[in-house]
Amino acid sequence: MLHGLIEREEGLKAAALRAADAGDWQGVASMAKELQAVYRAILASGAVPAPESARWEGLLERWTRLEAEAVRKAALGPARAAAAAKASAPEAVLRLSIETAPPAPAPAPVPVSGPAPAQACSPVPAAKSATGVTLADVKGLEAAKQAVMDALVNPVRHPDIYRTLKIKNGKGLLLYGPPGTGKTMFARAVAGELGLPFIYKKMSELKDKYVGESEKNVSRLFEEAQSHKRCVVFLDECESILRKRGNQKINVVEQFLAELDGFGTRRDVQLFLILATNRPWLIDSAVTRSGRIGLAVHVGLPDAETRRAIVSAALEGVPLAPDVDVESIVARTEGYSGAELHHGDGGGVCDEAAMEASRRWVKRREPLRPGDPEWNRVEEVTAADFETALEKVVPVSRKDPEIVRKNREFSLSNAAAGEDGDPEAD
Ligand SMILES: Nc1ncnc2c1ncn2[C@@H]1O[C@H](COP(=O)(O)OP(=O)(O)OP(=O)(O)O)[C@@H](O)[C@H]1O
Ligand SMILES: [Mg+2]
């Protein structure tokens, strides 16, 4: 339940952000109201232990304040509201968009980069998930998972091993691949594994048409992240800001690099940076050079084994007709992303097939009265339902073959350059 509420919170914050961007203060006020309800539900759920509840209470209080502020701006009328929006948008936009899952008890800080301190190590056990997702929820993609464990999770759990073997890590990693392959889920899982707050930011939202504002937004983002001391920072759509510069200096890229170089020097701060993109070829190579975001991991379309794992997990406990053959679904879904097989929010092949069965069940039930023996007779999902679902869900490999091909080529060229394997190659 907590996971669902946190997801809802994320959606509402994103919507509030869009509304603030558009100067729609009425919209911000209504999202703020709904967010307060979410925070109240989180606090009432009993899933948050006492020391962590202070953070949620703080957020509740912040959004109560923001609602009042938005209502006041909405009352100013369009012209003055636009001026007010311009004056306060960066503050509102940035502070609003940072998700703060309750922090887990912090182990001794171990910098992600640079030599580790010489004190005795204290291995960190698998922490209780802060985001409700762990790497076990990410099906298949074993090589990508291993890369994430090596780069982010194990250095925290086993600092002594990394110290003894003198392994240095960069300041984070880049996940790239076509849409729906599980990059965001991976990042949430890292936060879950480490029991850390998860900060989600679309880098496209840091862009500002006013000179110098994008740089300030980048700076504020790092400032806010560092105030959490230890957290996973997920920067989605990073190509929108971190584009190749050519011979030209682009200030916002420079700003990002300066922030990146800066946070590694702070011993009291441990940020786990995960960047994600569908277009890695657009990213400035200065960002991904070693010592910075040194590792790029291809999260490609799922191979047969991964598809089997996703479909099997999705169908666990679902009533299936005897004619449903998982192996045939696996064989026929080559080129489908994980999200197109099964998505937490619906819309995948397994979700659509179940929806077909639900429609039949509802139709059969409607003329009946509760208590009728037919009322509860389970409607199984059939092979024909999967046929319909397969026709309905158009895979990314058909919708956008170019993006699949280019990600693949990027991973192969990186592998050839010795920088990155193609973990998901069949
Ligand atoms: N390997 C996987 N295992 C389990 N579920 C998966 C996997 N890949 C995708 N999914 C499902 O698809 C959903 C969407 O995936 P996610 O948002 O992480 O994709 P993404 O790579 O971030 O996409 P985008 O590039 O569009 O942002 C997940 O929440 C999950 O339900
Ligand atoms: Mg994503």
User: What's this model's pTM, rounded to 2 decimal places?
Assistant: 0.71
Q: Report which bound ligand comes closest to the CA of 182.
A: 1
Largest CA distance in the chain: 75
Measured from CB, residues less than 6 Å from any atom of ligand 1 are: 138-141, 179-185, 278, 306, 310, 338-339, 342-344
Of 242, 265, 300, the residue at which a domain comes to its end is: 300
| Domain identity same for 207 and 72 | no
The H-assigned helical ranges of 205-303 are: 213-227, 251-263, 285-288
List strand residue ranges (DSSP E) for 70-210, in order: 172-176, 198-202
Decide: 173 and 296 in contact? Cβ < 8 Å.
yes
The predicted pLDDT at position 3 comes to 74
| Domain identity same for 293 and 160 | yes
The predicted pLDDT at position 15 comes to 83
Decide: 52 and 103 in contact? Cβ < 8 Å.
yes
Bridging pattern class, strands 230-236 and 270-277: parallel
Count of domains forming the chain: 3
Q: 425 C-alpha to center of ligand 2: Å?
A: 21
The H or E element that residue 64 is part of is helix 50-74
The predicted pLDDT at position 128 comes to 39
Amino acid at 370: P
Q: Report which bound ligand comes closest to the CA of 183.
A: 1
Whichever domain contains 335, its CATH number is 1.10.8.60
The closest alpha carbon to 217, from 162, 177, 259, 187, belongs to: 259
Decide: 31 and 19 in contact? Cβ < 8 Å.
yes
The closest alpha carbon to 392, from 358, 349, 338, belongs to: 349
**Which residues constitute the domain of residue 50?**
2-96
| Domain identity same for 270 and 361 | no
Distance between CA 121 and CA 141 in Å, rounded? 30
Residue spans of the chain under pLDDT 70: 1, 49-55, 77-130, 247-249, 264-266, 416-426
Torsion angle (degrees, nearest 10) of CA 227, 229, 230, 233? 30
Nearest CA residue ID for atom 26, ligand 1:
179
Q: 210 C-alpha to center of ligand 1: Å?
A: 34
The H or E element that residue 414 is part of is helix 401-416
**pLDDT digit string (tens) for 175-195?**
999 999 999 999 999 999 988
The full length of the chain comes to 426
Q: 296 C-alpha to center of ligand 2: Å?
A: 16
Q: Report which bound ligand comes closest to the CA of 187.
A: 1
For a pocket test of ligand 1, which of 131, 184, 315, 403 has the largest count of ligand atoms closer than 8 A to its C-beta? 184
In a domain, residue 112? The reply is no
The closest alpha carbon to 335, from 400, 421, 409, 411, belongs to: 400
Q: 277 C-alpha to center of ligand 2: Å?
A: 8
Distance between CA 235 and CA 249 in Å, rounded? 22
| Domain identity same for 275 and 340 | no
3 state DSSP class of 356:
helix
In a domain, residue 108? The reply is no
The predicted pLDDT at position 39 comes to 84
| Domain identity same for 65 and 43 | yes
- ∠ at Cα 153 (48, 346), nearest 5°? 60
| Domain identity same for 86 and 32 | yes
